[in-house]
Amino acid sequence: MKRAPVNKIIPFSNVDGPGNRTSVFFQGCPFNCLFCHNPETIHLCRHCGVCVEKCPAGALTLDAQGQVRWDSGRCVQCDACIRLCPHDASPKVRWMTVEDVMGEIRRAAPYIGGVTTSGGECTLQNDFLIDLFTEVGKLGKTCLIDSNGSFDFERDPRVLAVSQGVMLDVKAVDPAWSDQLISYPRDTVLKNLDYLLRVGKLYEVRTVIFPDRDQENEATVRYVARHIGDGCNYKIIRYRPFGVREKYQKLLGEFTAEADYAEKYAQLARDLGAAKAYVV
Ligand code: SF4
Ligand code: SF4
């Protein structure tokens, strides 16, 4: 039976797509974005044991096979384990089946319009998503994919057939800035931008605006706005240092990007035809 690593499930979220939705966060991401605000979702636990002794609630143990076990009943959600993990991982990941996840979705079902899968990078679990969305569809709910764009949707469009669309991060288009910021070639992301637009499956594009990075911000916003026009939402996100690893805060900024500064880019996007650009 297929299992996937799930970092957490938020039963009711109003920031992960339209309306009230259940958000499923999968563990693991091929990017290593400097500004990631939940870096504990990047890697799977290596069972190094560093966090076990530091747990104030005795919720972590090492079993006879040297695997870290998490006792959710004892856990007080202090996140000490996450803060001190040297591997950008979490000991609280659950390896769940589609039925396990559906159990949680069904409990929330009377109050939600749909389900959004996120991460980490949920498309690393493509086959799992296809099965999950097929089940969610039977409940009459919509399915959205929150993605960093590393998965080539044109090469394997099966998951699009069982979902309503993708919320795509376009973090950087300048090659040098992209290499520095996300440690991953941006080509697939930009290819996805074109493809998802073409097939009507691009629900939203998101770009983070960084303080004092005028040239880089503008290049990305211009590129995206010219591509999407009024074809989908364009969310301009203010960089926030909260959760960002300390060493990268020094590089990117220790303060939130000003609202006016971000609005300048939203206006630029609207001037270029992206009518549905707005700041969050
Ligand atoms: S969560 Fe991190 S610190 Fe804890 S055992 Fe896993 S890799 Fe080690
Ligand atoms: S969040 Fe981590 S450190 Fe805190 S109680 Fe739970 S398992 Fe222990």
What residue has token string 């090659």? 175
Does residue 202 share a domain with residue 65?
no
Does residue 234 share a domain with residue 182?
yes
| Beta carbon of 68 within 6 Å of any ligand 2 atom | no
Cβ atoms of 241 and 253 within 8 Å: the answer is yes
Containing structural domain, residue 263: 4-40+94-279
| Beta carbon of 161 within 6 Å of any ligand 2 atom | no
pLDDT in tens, 60-110: 999 999 999 999 999 999 999 999 999 999 999 999 999 999 999 999 999
Does residue 54 share a domain with residue 26?
no
Q: How far is the CA of 27 from the centre of ligand 2 (A)?
A: 17
pLDDT in tens, 226-267: 999 998 999 999 999 999 999 999 889 899 999 999 999 999
pLDDT of residue 1: 85
Does residue 156 share a domain with residue 78?
no
Per-residue confidence band for 184, with pLDDT thresholds at 50, 70 and 90:
confident
pTM of structure: 0.95
The contacts of residue 210 (CB under 8 Å, 6+ apart) are 35, 216, 217, 239, 252, 253, 257
Residue nearest to atom 5 of ligand 2 (CA): 75
Q: How far is the CA of 120 from the centre of ligand 1 (A)?
A: 16
Does residue 103 share a domain with residue 87?
no
Q: Return the amino acid letter for 86.
A: P
The contacts of residue 180 (CB under 8 Å, 6+ apart) are 34
Does residue 258 share a domain with residue 148?
yes
Q: How far is the CA of 108 from the centre of ligand 2 (A)?
A: 25
Does residue 148 share a domain with residue 124?
yes
Question: Domain of 124: which CATH number?
Answer: 3.20.20.70
> Reduced to 3 states, what is the DSSP secondary structure of residue 6?
strand
Number of domains in the chain: 2
Burial 238-259 (b: 16+ CB within 10 A, else e): bbebeebbeebbeebbeeebee
What's the average model confidence in pLDDT over 13-29?
96
For residue 131, give the DSSP letter. H
Does residue 128 share a domain with residue 239?
yes
Does residue 161 share a domain with residue 140?
yes
